[in-house]
Chains A and B, each alone.
Chain A
């Protein structure tokens, strides 16, 4: 009888554990955090950076008209609202330990591309360095050029902390600066990260 009572108690605990897992699964599936892809851990865009201070520098000849936008997005979209710490480096380091995390360039990109953010150096499961290239001529097509620049800078910066485009509507997909192309409006949400994306960032840094 005693053995049987122990068995029943253990079985009850196991069932409670299983039910707990079910509840967790249901809550996670119902959460907006299920809305998009967090860093792919591949060597391409979406790769995770290291979890230390996210620093950046100006690449050769980086357009002085874009620098304020980059500073602003590092501070107001990433450094302020999330757990990530950010730092500007006056000199870019391209090799060895302590490579600058994000190097900013401007160029004439092909077609209708506004910006790119490939991982340039992938090492030990992390992206050591991203090259971010902006195409101001394409960004400035249409109106609200400064707002469009903020959106694209925020977008590419998001790639450097592991965010991908996501898909579908709503949180994590289309309601912040990770939306592709022209921002739908000048609403400030399009130069910030959604709560969903901030959860991802905070979990990493």
Chain B
């Protein structure tokens, strides 16, 4: 009976381990499954925001810029700032309300500007920039609010997106954007999150390590990023 018990227990444990191994392999995640955003060692709060941004980023096909300086030259405005508010954004569409499809939803991040690294400072209103990010019905504003920690610091390379999609009119204004204020939207490789726990710069839509090598050179924190890539703007405010 002892042998019989051993017989039952031995293959059961091994089989479970091997089945798990097979399932892991067939899940196609492998060593390359970094795009899901859960591979960083940052604090939980910034992880949640990173995870949300990676989910959005996975749906974008965009042109990478070889270095922060190159993107800085192209961007309408490049800033370091802190998120002070996350709210619903403008809605573009064909009907009178967002209920008539197609409707294109957004959210608005209000960001208190700490430093300007380049671009047109007239796009800043009262020390704030209004940053628009596309979302779907599947990504409620509450998801972003819960994922964004208090005092979340960002480095933002922004495109003047006041005119929006162009092919569809605005059918709802953003409640948090004052009348006439410019609306900016981040380049996909220009939304960099500082981990609130460690202070490290960890990327956004894509992880910093997934961008061209120049993006990571000399970069561990916002300060080292600025010193490396925007030395003349290091102390500008």
Contact = CB atoms under 8 A, between A and B. Distances in A.
Interface of A: 4, 7, 10-11, 14-15, 17-18, 21-22, 24-25, 28-29, 33-38, 40, 42-46, 59-61, 94-95, 103, 105-122, 131, 133, 138, 141, 152, 155-156, 159, 164-168, 172-173, 180-182, 200
A18 B11 contact: yes
Interface residues of B, number: 61
13 contacts: A21-B15, A25-B22, A34-B28, A34-B30, A35-B28, A37-B36, A40-B36, A44-B59, A61-B167, A112-B65, A112-B187, A159-B59, A181-B62
Nearest to B93: A60
Nearest to B33: A37
Interface in B158-211: 159, 161, 163-168, 185-190, 210
Contact of B186 (A14, A21, A29, A110): A110
B63 A110 contact: no
Contacts of B73: none
B94 interface: yes
Contacts of B26: 28, 33
A109 B168 CA distance: 12
Contacts of A155: 61
A114 B61 contact: yes
Contacts of A105: 102, 167
Given A7-B3, A18-B18, A95 B101 contact: yes
Contacts of A159: 59
Contacts of B18: 18, 21-22, 25
A131 B102 contact: yes
Nearest to B160: A110
